[in-house]
Structure 1
Amino acid sequence: MSGGKQINEADIEWGAPDSDGAPSFVVPRSTQFDDVYFSGDGLAETQHVFLAGNNLPARFNTRRFHIGELGFGTGLNFLAVWDAWNRAEKPGGARLNFLSFEAYPLSAAQMARAHEAWPALASLAARLRAALPPPQQGFHVLDFGDISLTLYYGDAFEGLLCVEGGVDAWFLDGFTPAKNPGLWSPDIFNEMARLSAPGATFATFTVSGGVRRALEAAGFQWEKRAGFGRKRQMLAGRIETPPHTTHREPWLPAATPLHPGARIAVIGAGIAGASLAHAMRRSGFHPSVYEASAPASGASGNPAGLIMPRLDVGDTPAGSFHANAYLHVLQLLSVLGGDVFRPCGVLHHAASDRDRERQIKLLAQGALPEGFMEERREGLFFPQAGVVDPPAFVKALLSDTELVSGRVERLQQATSGWRVFTGKSETEFDAVIIANGLDALRFAEARTLPLAGSAGQIDWFPDAPAPDHAHAFGPYAAPCPRGGAIIGATYAPISIGAEARFTNEATQSNIAAVARALPEVAATLDANQSHPRASVRCTTPDRLPLCGPLPDWGFYGGAYDGLRTGKKRDYPSGETRPGLFVLTGLGSRGLVTAPYAAALLAAELAGAPSDATIMQALHPARFFIRDLKRAGAR
């Protein structure tokens, strides 16, 4: 699977002791592989082998460029590329995506010591270290403006199997093949070939005969070039015609990439639409957000919301998605800064012996990195979790995005995109993303999606004493960013199109729920002093969002009907509505999951290498296919 457990950090020795026992030359050496990360002038070697070996930065004269790397190590290659990218002449709005794989990540402290060797990169190195994710297996997306770094922590081959997208240049920089043969295997190079764009290049410091033969067998042409320093030779080469293969299920295809600078209409200005606006801007697109009333007017308008993980026992795509989404939103909130987020911690109470057993399993499997989850007498405590101000969060994500006031009445496919109709305007875009919760079902193109509504009421008590940290026990009680305490939330089915209304009965129900878990908190709450708010959540049957391209349902009905009878054959790739996408069904965890889902969709639309395993788990066609298969099993 693509993630969901803690992994080991690098074990490093520094330098070699001299006769006095002091380091004679401070170079990091991996004790796992008994090899150094760099020696001598590491930056000059990177510039010679990896940049010049791939004809960089000359090839940066494009709107979109993708680099893949095996062996992130100290991050030196990424920093050198970042520096070269900043200095290069390139088109306006250009974006670079850097994908790297690392089995044993260095800590920020280890990197800081290594980075002392390159003072010219100090400012970039500090930014990298500040954004480093914790050692959690899976894909971590880091945003540095016009450069995006996707780090995969874990076994490189497992990670490569999860990826789709085109790489323009490869850096092969694992430890030497004699010390780390697994990173130089034919299987690795076959996956590299699959993920390469036509004409993709590679460069590496080694000229090992086994590496040359494996590269050639995978379809790469190679040549020996002058090496750096004491290394007389290095390898560089290219693959002209990569194989057109994929590990995705045919009925769960990736989104077709959009051209750089594409204009995208995002329908809805809640947390889904705001997250999309932020991610699309960062990927070099031009989003416009349509909203019928005002930003954060639905469930995203509550005065507070919890930022905490939803964790699954076992190694599953759903578990990976939720764990990585939590780590991603924490990093995003730290970048946004301001008064958006209060990291007061959240205590998830174990309400039963079954809950306690589940929490023990989560601790045992390392569902979150060390320091992100603590065992308490009452349950699990998440020290980095806390309470967010949803309207402020949405506002921060929407900054610098065009907002269009008006309800989108209908969509019409055009020759090269979609026309968006409101009661007052008609505008054509290259693409449309439907992100307006349950209202997505108003559009004919999304009407078959299995979305349902759930009404929820929260109660805010501005004058009540706030708990020191948030408590989750099914319902929750937490300090409110605007002062006082907030509790919630009720769950009640609601029909499509109905409006959620707050009631005194729901307030009493919320107080009663708090009283069962936290009687001392409930004793401070007066129902007559509540400021209630009711809204509608949009849910899916498996509690995962719908994120990706909208299928051409007519094609699906005919092409995959054989699944009803369990017929085995080579099914064609699913056809989707060109330029039409969806992000909805976020349920009660949208504040955590929307930013990560939006980042993954933005990567697909940019053609950047990204985690296809999770995107298949979120694919809008998944329920249609499940229903066909279940019909065949009956």
Structure 2
Amino acid sequence: MEPQTGKKPADKPWFDPAAPFIRQSSHTNDVAIIGGGIAGASCCHALNQRGIKTTLFEQQDTLASGASGNPIGMLEPYITADNSLSGQFYQAGYQHSRNLVRQLLAEGEDVEAAFCGVLSLPANPRDATRQQAILDRLSHAPKADTPTSVQHLDPKAASDVLGLSVSVGGLFYTDAGWVNPPSLCRVLAKQARMKQGIHIARITHIQGGGARLHDQQGSHLGDFGAVIIAGAMETAHFAQTRWMRDYMIALRGQISCFSNALLGDLKVNCVLSHKGYLTPERAGLHVFGATFDRHANNTDITENDHAANITQLSLAVPDLAARLKAGALGGRAGLRTTTPDHLPLIGPAPDYAAYLDAYPDLDKGRYYARYCSAPYHKDVYVCTGFGARGMIGAPLAATIIANQIAGRKPPLPPLVQEALHPARYIVRAIKRGLLTP
């Protein structure tokens, strides 16, 4: 029998937190953030709120130039009937994002948003069963654990709330709504030092702690106490995170837009969420969609995708869809990044080779062992993989990372934290005997 010393696998040292970074006077700024979408901007805000300065690097000339550049993003609760780890994270994320936007509006910040409610309609009998299960769970949950005010509406009440005729009833989230992502990104990042039009090609470790950034020409762009990689698929382009490319999936999505004038006597009063979604008017336009395509990596606008969005919309509001023609629509396409388990990658960047050396025998089921704490690339963090849920996932993720960097208590239960940890895929593969040193 092996000696009963050291840590047990149940203690999961491979998910131990990274050591907080140490400020050094030689650093040009405290934390560098790569990526100017909702994830990167949220990281700026979370760190700035904790008194930590930030420099934001965006390779395009403007913030929110990728998937975060859509004119409207839904602030819709994501609730699961079984209270899964995914549901727990996004439930907490929705509450965090909703409260954050409300706070910014109350402070007079220039964020475009409206809490007009979200009407969620089932697309099939399975969805209807799931909605009823959600109602049942929430009705028995303590008020403190209920993420939002929700009520079930019959078809007539749903039609009255939406302003368009619908044939089925559904759930109405009264305190949900929408936000304009670019305006939110600008406000969240306004205290950061901005470096736009700069492509970060390499991150190197500084002796004694910290990270050094280099551009494509090899030029040194600054020394920082830590760096957060908050891009999309670009996250896997760095030596420290290249292994993640096997666990990151690009999803092309195209939205469609039409003028408010096309509505005529119709009106959209709230956000409609069905198999797709439809928004109220913003700047004279309504947005609907969106497509999901794993097999394309371009951002060209196509009439075929417009037609697909119209077909999808017709399942919920056929009267409106009948007025739309693919050739007359505007739109925008972007690439979202998701993962196989549909949860983001949030936390310190694992040292892939060191993980294989540190935990080579997890597949053997050893109960007692002397396992070391998780080996990381010092002072490097990742924040990516939100798919279509960046608005309700990224601000909370930024809080998680900011707390880790500052050495503060995590805001979520341990099991949820572990479900988000970037090393989860390495650990799973080792346990299945798929990886060896």
TM category (shorter chain) comes to 0.7 to 0.9
Distance 1:380 1:444, change over 3 A: same
Distance 1:332 1:245, change over 3 A: farther
**Which aligned pairs between 1:485-564 and structure 2 lie closer than 5 A?**
485-494=286-295, 498-564=297-363
Deviation string, structure 1 residues 498-535 (Cα, Å, up to 9, x no partner): 43221010001101100111112212323233111100
- Contact 2:79–2:87 (CA under 8 A) maintained in structure 1: yes
**Which aligned pairs between 1:609-620 and structure 2 lie closer than 5 A?**
609-610=409-410, 611=412, 612-620=414-422
The one-letter code sitting in structure 2 at the alignment partner of 1:564 is D
What's 2:159 paired with?
none
Give the total of aligned pairs. Answer: 387
Deviation string, structure 1 residues 458-477 (Cα, Å, up to 9, x no partner): 01113333511111112111
What's 1:441 paired with?
236
- Contact 1:300–1:390 (CA under 8 A) maintained in structure 2: yes
- Contact 1:260–1:284 (CA under 8 A) maintained in structure 2: no
- Residue 281 of structure 1 aligns to a residue whose secondary structure is helix
- Residue 379 of structure 2 aligns to a residue whose secondary structure is strand
**Which aligned pairs between 1:87-486 and structure 2 lie closer than 5 A?**
249-259=12-22, 263-293=30-60, 294-337=62-105, 338-366=110-138, 369=146, 372-377=149-154, 378-405=169-196, 406-415=198-207, 416-422=209-215, 423=217, 425-449=220-244, 450-463=247-260, 464-465=262-263, 467-486=268-287
- Residue 430 of structure 1 aligns to a residue whose secondary structure is strand
Q: What TM-score do you get using the length of structure 1 for normalisation? A: 0.58
- Residue 348 of structure 2 aligns to a residue whose secondary structure is strand
What's 2:393 paired with?
593
Distance (whole Å) between structure 1 residues aligned to residue 295 and residue 299 of structure 2: 8
The one-letter code sitting in structure 2 at the alignment partner of 1:623 is Y
Is 1:584 matched up with 2:384? Answer: yes
Q: What TM-score do you get using the length of structure 2 for normalisation? A: 0.84
- Residue 172 of structure 2 aligns to a residue whose secondary structure is strand
Is 1:566 matched up with 2:365? Answer: yes
Distance 1:545 1:248, change over 3 A: farther
In structure 2, the gaps of 5 or more residues are 1-6, 155-168
Deviation string, structure 1 residues 181-208 (Cα, Å, up to 9, x no partner): xxxxxxxxxxxxxxxxxxxxxxxxxxxx
Distance (whole Å) between structure 2 residues aligned to residue 504 and residue 431 of structure 1: 44
Once the two structures are TM-superposed, the CA of residue 260 in structure 1 deviates from its matched residue by 6.2
Deviation string, structure 1 residues 128-175 (Cα, Å, up to 9, x no partner): xxxxxxxxxxxxxxxxxxxxxxxxxxxxxxxxxxxxxxxxxxxxxxxx
Distance (whole Å) between structure 1 residues aligned to residue 222 and residue 357 of structure 2: 33
Distance (whole Å) between structure 1 residues aligned to residue 147 and residue 348 of structure 2: 36
Determine what percentage of the aligned residue pairs are the same residue.
Answer: 33
In structure 1, the gaps of 5 or more residues are 1-243
Distance (whole Å) between structure 2 residues aligned to residue 451 and residue 520 of structure 1: 39
Distance (whole Å) between structure 2 residues aligned to residue 386 and residue 458 of structure 1: 18
Deviation string, structure 1 residues 345-384 (Cα, Å, up to 9, x no partner): 1111112222112111111111762861111232211111
Q: Which is bigger in relative contact order (C-alpha 8 A, separation at least 6)?
A: 2
Distance (whole Å) between structure 2 residues aligned to residue 289 and residue 370 of structure 1: 32
Distance (whole Å) between structure 1 residues aligned to residue 38 and residue 321 of structure 2: 30
Distance 1:407 1:566, change over 3 A: same
